[in-house]
Amino acid sequence: MMTRSFLCILFSLLIYPLQTLAAADKILHSFDYSEGGGDQDVLLEQEQLEEDLRFEAIEWSHDWLKDYIDEVSYGIDGFFVDTFFGDDVINDDISGSRAKFSFYTRRVIGQPVYYKYGVNVRVVLPNTEDRFSLLVESSEDEEAADNQPIDPTEPVQYSTALRYMVKETDNWKVSFDNGIKWGIPPDPFTRLRFRRFGYFDIYHTRATQTFDWSVSDGFGSNTRFEINRPLDIDRLIRFETGAKYELNNDYFELDYGFSLYHELNKREVLAYYLRVSGENRSNMSFNNYGIGFRYRRVVYQDWVFVEFTPELETANVNNYDITPIIMFRFEALVGD
């Protein structure tokens, strides 16, 4: 009898806490969420919120840092520079029909002003899957593409050609041109060009090899190499070099250039540059140096530009005297 009473008391002691917990749980479930209640322990919920906040903060910092690094690396790059200055029209680095029309003046202090007109048009022929293009080009644009000082005394020569794009990928562009340079007499020519793009971390490179032949000039080649390195979100350093060779002349024309591009805003870019050119006709010599800056601005919509370039030049043709030069360019870029 005593044993039975002891077991009843023990059973009651075990059941009572469970009933108490069930009642407390029922009370907690009776609260509405809108009144600040819930069915989870407050302490556990607070710990979970702290973990989520810490995780989101880390993710936000990671995303911000990644975006900033991307902007530093690619905010201003060679593509933007070439597009803004219209060099992509010359270099054919953008697919589709495009055109550039330019009016150029150059004045040496104390001498008359020289004027030149430039044109570069590429029309993609329909139903050819962007393989064939009709080109109309001027020698003034070719000199600008090769980073050569433009000779104001030389007349502008125009040419028309049919271009066949042999290969076009993200890293390679191979094209073949057949055309004629207009003059008296007309000068037929052919041109084969290889271009290779390289991407190494924040360094971007572009190498171009061109082989050409014409009736008047014979066989020639043009080799160019360019390195771009973004410094931050709005500045870019570019180093470029080139070597031009004509078999009939049997010597190389060399040029080097170093530029710092500074994007002031989406409508203005300032470029500081140093250029050197020479040849190895008898022995290796550099005979033309120039230092200056280029200020370029969009003046209408996003396709009409003006450019102002003051430069100090020293060359063997004037006994290496320092010569101030002022250049002005007005350009219209048409295309997507």
Domain edges within the chain: 78-331
**Rounded (5°) CA angle 276-282-288:** 20
DSSP state of 258: E
pLDDT tens, residue by residue, 110-129: 889 988 888 999 999 988 98
Segment 303-312 mean pLDDT: 95
Answer whether residue 58 shows pLDDT above 70: no
Instruction: Please tell me the distance from the alpha carbon of residue 104 to that of residue 150, in angstroms, as a whole number.
Output: 10
> Any idea which of 11-15, 276-280, 320-324 has the lowest mean pLDDT?
11-15
Radius of gyration of the chain (CA): 35
pLDDT given for residue 255 in this prediction:
95
> Any idea which of 3-12, 136-145, 220-229, 278-287 has the lowest mean pLDDT?
3-12
- Residue 152 binned pLDDT confidence (cut-offs 50, 70, 90): low
Answer whether residue 178 shows pLDDT above 70: yes
pLDDT tens, residue by residue, 262-295: 999 989 999 999 999 999 887 888 999 999 999 9
Answer whether residue 176 shows pLDDT above 80: yes
Answer whether residue 68 shows pLDDT above 50: no
Highest average pLDDT, of 58-62, 73-77, 201-205, 259-263, comes from 259-263
Which amino acid would we find at residue 10? L
What's the Cα-to-Cα distance from 298 to each of 65, 106, 211, 247, 269, rounded to whole Å?
32, 21, 35, 42, 9
Segment 65-74 mean pLDDT: 41
- Residue 142 binned pLDDT confidence (cut-offs 50, 70, 90): low
What's the Cα-to-Cα distance from 320 to each of 220, 253, 302, 314, rounded to whole Å?
29, 19, 40, 5
pLDDT given for residue 148 in this prediction:
58
CATH number of 78-331: 2.40.160.40
Segment 173-185 mean pLDDT: 94
Answer whether residue 6 shows pLDDT above 90: no
CB 137 within 8 A of CB 158: yes
Query: Beta partners for 177?
Result: 163, 191
| Nearest Cα to Cα of residue 147 among 290, 325, 268 | 290
pLDDT tens, residue by residue, 241-266: 999 999 998 899 999 999 999 999 98
Question: Which two tokens mark 281?
Answer: 């006709």
Answer whether residue 73 shows pLDDT above 90: no
Cα dihedral 36→42→47→50 (10° resolution): 20
- Mean predicted lDDT score pLDDT of the chain: 80
